Amino acid sequence: MAEVKLFGRWNSPFSQRVEMALKLKGVEYEFIDEDLRNKSPLLLKYNPIHKKVPVLLHNGKPIAESSVIIEYIDETWEGPSILPKDPYERAMARFWVKFIDEKCLTAMSEACSKTGEEKEKAIEEAAQLLKFLEEEIKGKKFFGGENIGLVDISSNFIGYWFGILQELMGLELLTKEKYPNLCEWIDGFINHSFVKDYLPPKDKITEVYKAWLNRRSNFA
């Protein structure tokens, strides 16, 4: 049995975050691509509470929740640091990850999934929240400074998936005109030698989102 297994999904940004962390550290792992409509008994066994990917299995012990897994990876394996070493900088990185996960992703997802007034409200909220990231990335190459770190990895939905989705939906939320610094970060992030080889292909993500939009319109 491989020492490290990752129960994930090829097109999940959360799953991808953990893959990026493992690759940054040079950890070899076996990837188990879960069918999320027919989850494996092992995934349900290892994550009985949330029943979600990603789950990391290390020496037979499971860990769920991407942000928890990434800190575990950083503490367990040698290699480039994913979190900063300085306690205050670490706190700031954790703050931004919480902000992205609990605020930005909710608003950005609702901007795409809701309709009518709820959609407009979510777009407005997402626009406000992204301004804080726009300010935070100003004058920096990456959120982690010169190198990709925890906040960059955790912003992967904003950096890649969301652009594909907003283009498909004709949304103009995250644009160069409104967020020049954030869009510069996106360019740097998706073209970084380390990132670009590992992102799922745009055409395949597009297919998944198109199917989702079709299902939605059939049920609307």
Q: Is 67 in the site for a second copy (CB under 8 A)?
A: yes
Residues facing residue 4 across a β-bridge:
58
Strands (DSSP E) contained in 29-134 are 30-33, 55-58, 61-64
Q: Tell me the CA distances in angstroms from 155 to 68, 130, 172, one per residue in order.
A: 15, 11, 19
CB within 8 A of 94, min separation 6: which ones? 83, 150
Check: CB of residue 205 under 8 Å from CB of residue 156.
Answer: no
Give the footprint of a second copy on residues 131-150 (CB under 8 A): 132
Find the part of the chain contacting a second copy (CB under 8 A) among 35-43, 65-73, 143-151, 193-201.
65-73
> Which member of 1, 35, 87, 177 binds a second copy (CB under 8 A)?
87
To the nearest 10°, report the CA torsion of 196, 199, 204, 205. -120
Is 68 a binding residue for a second copy by CB under 8 A? The answer is yes
Residues in contact with a second copy, total (CB under 8 A)? Answer: 24
Specify the residue, 33 or 101, whose C-beta has the smaller distance to a second copy.
101
Pick the closer one to a second copy by CB: 37 or 61: 61
44 is a contact residue toward a second copy (CB under 8 A): no
Segments of the chain assigned E as strands? 4-8, 30-33, 55-58, 61-64
**Least distance (Å) between residue 188 CB and a second copy:** 24
Q: How far apart are the first and last CA of the chain?
A: 46
Q: Per DSSP, what are the bridge partners of residue 61? A: 58
Q: Would you give the binding string for a second copy spanning residues 97-136, x where CB under 8 A is met? A: -xx--x-----------------------------x----
Binding window for a second copy (CB under 8 A); candidates: 28-36, 88-96, 158-166, 188-196: 88-96
Applying CB under 8 A, the residues found at the interface with a second copy are 49, 58, 61, 63-65, 67-69, 71-72, 75-76, 87-88, 90-92, 94-95, 98-99, 102, 132
